[in-house]
Amino acid sequence: MDTGTHIAMGVALGGFATLDPVVQQDPTLFTAVMVGTIIGSHSPDFDTVLKLRNNAVYIRHHRGITHSIPAVIFWGITISSIIYLFVPDVSFLHLWLWTFLAVILHVMVDVPNAYGTQAYRPFTKKWIAHGFISTFDPYIFSLHLIGIIAWILGASPGSTWIMIYFIIVLYYIKRYIDKREIVKIIHEHFEHVEQIATSPTTKQNIWRVAFTTDQHYFVGRVEDGHVEIDDKFHRLSVPENSLFELAMTDKNISAFLSFSPIYRWEINLFDDFSEIRFIDLRYRSDGHYPFVAVVQIDDNMRIMNSYTGWVFSEEKLQNKLNMDSNPI
């Protein structure tokens, strides 16, 4: 989920903590728990600092190890221990419990997104992206705002958040059922479907989809149960030659391939270099595919430039390639 929603969930969990008699009776502990749940609800996304290095590192690791099972345990213990240094008279057990729950909640609500996480590490490095809740869902965020406002106006935090999260759980179930119905519709209308990526929009009746069959890639949307195809591409395997083998060694290309499950490639030949592009098909926007990886290789088989990330025009892409020149 987005940062704002994660923080709002931290506030909500702090409200839930008032149902804990030990927290309810100790104002200092309540304050410590609220700090712990807010920080804990955002802590797995501290890897955002990787953007300061480069996009390849960020794409390969964001929502990776920081969302893993060992990291969840680490965040809970570390954050609660640091807070405990400032308020050593409170119950560490209760402080750790609520902080730990905030970290767990963060990872749990990231799993249904289309972006995905590596939440099952160290057992597998596979990206888990169920694609039935948006990274920013206005309904979920609005429900949290309603709860926070009600709490400020004097409503009981415990009962308020129980009611709101009951609604949110029902909403998650509804979106999951919607996603399953979309998968069923695609399988009914297309033969030999191998992989489907879904992404909900802010409109409940419209979903973005990208899927593969044994021969093609399809990109489109599902609206009111009807599949509308926007683009169709022939499915071509990545060539096994020295040019593509070199491209695969580039860190921007390898980062893209480690993350993207449905993509196509293309190659452009120029006078003194070749340009290979990998294009993620899940994020079509206004007829454009903004998430790409590009590598330029000269005639002497040397990598000139490469880039991976989000770009919304050819001009910006070329600027990025020039700025992020990254020969190996």
Least confidently predicted of 13-22, 252-261, 294-303: 252-261
Q: Which of 90-99, 117-126, 194-203 has the lowest mean pLDDT?
A: 117-126
Label residue 167 by pLDDT band (50, 70, 90).
very high
Tell how far CA 179 is from the center of its chain: 17
Name the least confident of 117-126, 164-173, 202-211: 117-126
Q: Which of 305, 306, 307, 274 is nearest to 290 (CA)?
A: 307
Q: 80: which 2 tokens?
A: 């609660």
Q: State pLDDT tens for residues 235-248.
A: 999 999 999 999 99
pLDDT surpassing 90 at residue 163: yes
Task: Please enumerate in sequence order all residues whose Cβ is within 8 A of that of 116, keeping only pairs 6 or more positions apart, or say none.
Answer: 63, 110, 127, 128, 129
Q: Are 24 and 18 in contact (CB under 8 A)?
A: yes
User: For tokens 């592009």, what's the residue?
Assistant: 277
E strand intervals along the chain = 193-200, 206-213, 216-223, 226-234, 263-269, 273-280, 291-298, 303-310
Question: Mean per-residue pLDDT for 251-255?
Answer: 90
Residue 60: pLDDT above 70? Answer: no
- Residue pair 194/210 in contact (Cβ under 8 Å)? The answer is no
**Portion of the chain with pLDDT greater than 70, in percent:** 95
- Residue 326: pLDDT band with limits 50, 70, 90: very low
| pLDDT tens digit sequence for 113-124 | 887 788 888 888
pLDDT tens digit string along 18-38?
Answer: 999 999 999 999 999 999 999
The whole-number pLDDT of residue 97 equals 97
Please tell me what DSSP assigns to residue 239: P
Report the C-alpha gap between 217 and 236 in whole angstroms: 9
The whole-angstrom separation of Cα 205 and Cα 224 is 5
pLDDT at 303 over 90: yes
Q: Inform me whether the pLDDT recorded for 299 exceeds 80.
A: yes
Taking the C-alpha atoms of residue 267 and residue 246, their distance in angstroms, rounded to an integer, is 14
Among residues of the chain, what percentage have pLDDT more than 90? 72
pLDDT higher than 70, residue 52: no
Mean pLDDT of 283-308: 91
Contacts of 184 (CB under 8 A, 6+ apart): none
Q: What is d(CA 317, CA 328) in angstroms, rounded to the nearest whole number?
A: 20
Q: Which residues of 284-301 are buried (b: 16+ CB within 10 A; e: fewer)?
A: beeeebbbbbbbbbeeee
Report pLDDT digits (tens) over 216-229. 999 999 999 999 99
Whether the Cβ atoms of residue 156 and residue 223 lie closer than 8 Å to each other = no
> In this model, does residue 196 exceed pLDDT 60?
yes
Q: What is the pLDDT of residue 219?
A: 97
What count of Cα atoms within 13 Å lies in the side-chain half-sphere of residue 274? 13
* Global confidence as pTM: 0.86
Is residue 261 a contact partner of residue 212, using CB atoms and an 8 Å limit? no
Question: Which residues lie closer than 8 Å to 10 by C-beta, 6 or more apart?
Answer: 37, 38, 39, 40, 41, 42, 102
How confident is the model at residue 53, as a pLDDT?
A: 66
Residue 327 has what pLDDT? 42
Identify whether the C-beta of residue 240 lies closer than 8 Å to the C-beta of residue 265. no
pLDDT at 50: 65
181-215: burial string, b at 16+ Cβ within 10 Å, e else: ebbeebeeebeebeebbbbbeeeeeebbbbbbbee
